[in-house]
A and B are shown apart, each in its own frame.
Chain A
Amino acid sequence: MKEKRVIVRRKRGIHLRPAQEIVNLTGQFACDVFLQNGSYRVNAKSIMGILGLAAAEGHELTITTDGVDEADALNEVFDLIESGFPNLKEDE
């Protein structure tokens, strides 16, 4: 099991499109991926789970991965959130 913290850097937080970016990425891995915001811990392969985090700009999230490809999953999810979702426009 691996764990890393990341700060949300999008002005509008992790809303629908960023959540979709996350599940599209996490769905490619065999391992379990969790995101935690405060006391809420959700499955990062679930859109509704990620939306449930209501992760706003500046919130610190904990990424946890557990399984065969946990190291790659952890790094890629971290990079996606840390870089502020480069595939999306600022207002998307």
Chain B
Amino acid sequence: MRGLTVRKLYEDRKEAFHFECLTEVLESERLITVSDVHRPGLILAGFTRNFLSERIQILGETEMLFLETLDAGQHERAIDRLFEQKMPCVIIAKGLEYDEILMRRASEARIPVLRTPQSTTPFIHELTEYLENAFAPQTTVHGSLVDVYGVGLLITGRSGIGKSECALDLVERGHRLVTDDMVIVTRRHNLLYGEAKEHLRYHMEIRGIGIIDVRRMFGVRAIGKNKRIDVEVRLREWSADVEYDRLGLEERMTTILGKKIPVVTIPIIPGKNITVLAEVVAMNHQLRVHGIRSAEELSENLVGTMDRSRRRAGG
């Protein structure tokens, strides 16, 4: 499991959240491993079961106001209950004042306490977003990613089959290249996003020509920095043994980082225009998104026609 140190969080977001570190220690014994955060109201009130100690604990105005209503003994016990948990860190929002007991218990438990002037709920949203990005599953895929009519096409296939040439042809026809031959895929909010490795961005290798800079050659309208991956287009040598989809009644799926996306396998035959096929894949996907399924509609029409002619013949 990937983990993030509290120090890394502090240093990455110090400026954005105007973090101040209230404890002497910034090194937590526990790594941040989840993107969810928690408001520890119930444990302060005395309910300790099912406490989510792996999460960052956020103290907002409600928690602090609640602590103020307690007498000295109850107050101390409430803080004790919280710091008996091994949490990665505690963050006080809204720049709220804290008391001495809280800081003392935090130091004893060696749990860092940070403070931000931001309001609690917007802060939680921004923090969660940062953590989700930090924990987003990532992988590299051998393929090219092109934005075709707003649809992210991931073009895959063995080396030398013509992925780059297909991508180049698409660029020539006005579509946007995101990355060639190597896609860094990240899964966020149950969607897949692809981008180039930064130092290779907008460069392509074309066999026989070498490395070209697509942004310089075709201009900014030919490129995109990142793109949601909607469909995989798999290029394969034509083989008599393989059955290709001739109807498109079922959508075939492939799985990347645990997320299923449609995959279209296109047989490569000399003289066939792969680029037009790629455009049709993109448009067909767009139609499906809009609820239009050509094969099913044709099938219904056909069945309707046959029904009518049977009735006429029988009646």
Q: Does A46 contact B (CB under 8 A)?
A: yes
Query: In the complex, given contacts A41-B140, A46-B142, A54-B199, what are 5 additional A-B residue pairs having Cβ atoms less than 8 angstroms apart?
Result: A43-B182, A48-B200, A49-B140, A51-B200, A52-B197
Counting contact residues on chain A (CB < 8 A from B), the size range is 10 to 19
A48 engages B180 (CB within 8 Å)? yes
A40 engages B200 (CB within 8 Å)? no
Cross-interface CB contact of B204 among A16, A41, A43, A48, cutoff 8 Å: A48
Residues of A within 8 A of B211 (CB): 16, 47
Cross-interface CB contact of B181 among A27, A40, A41, A49, cutoff 8 Å: A49
Q: How far is the CA of A52 from the CA of B140 in the complex (A)?
A: 10
Contact with A along B208-233 (1 / 0, CB 8 A): 00010000000000000000000000
12 contacts between A and B (CB under 8 A): A16-B211, A39-B138, A40-B197, A43-B182, A45-B158, A47-B205, A47-B211, A48-B200, A48-B205, A49-B140, A54-B197, A54-B199
Residue of A nearest to B199 (CB): A54
Q: How far is the CA of A39 from the CA of B136 in the complex (A)?
A: 14
Residues of A within 8 A of B203 (CB): 48
Q: How far is the CA of A52 from the CA of B211 in the complex (A)?
A: 14
B-binding residues in A (CB < 8 A): 16, 27, 39-43, 45-49, 51-52, 54
Q: How far is the CA of A27 from the CA of B159 in the complex (A)?
A: 8
A46 engages B159 (CB within 8 Å)? yes
Q: Does B122 contact A (CB under 8 A)?
A: no
A42 engages B182 (CB within 8 Å)? yes
Given contacts A52-B182, A52-B197, A54-B199, contact A40 B140 (CB under 8 A): yes
Q: Does B160 contact A (CB under 8 A)?
A: yes
In the complex, how many angstroms separate the beta carbon of B198 from the nearest chain A beta carbon? Answer: 9
B159 engages A48 (CB within 8 Å)? no
Q: How far is the CA of A76 from the CA of B18 in the complex (A)?
A: 54
Q: How far is the CA of A40 from the CA of B198 in the complex (A)?
A: 13
Residues of B within 8 A of A42 (CB): 140, 142, 182
In the complex, how many angstroms separate the beta carbon of A88 from the nearest chain B beta carbon? Answer: 17
Q: How far is the CA of A38 from the CA of B45 in the complex (A)?
A: 46
Q: How far is the CA of A81 from the CA of B7 in the complex (A)?
A: 37
Residues of B within 8 A of A51 (CB): 199-200
B181 engages A48 (CB within 8 Å)? yes
A47 engages B140 (CB within 8 Å)? no
In the complex, how many angstroms separate the beta carbon of B89 from the nearest chain A beta carbon? Answer: 26
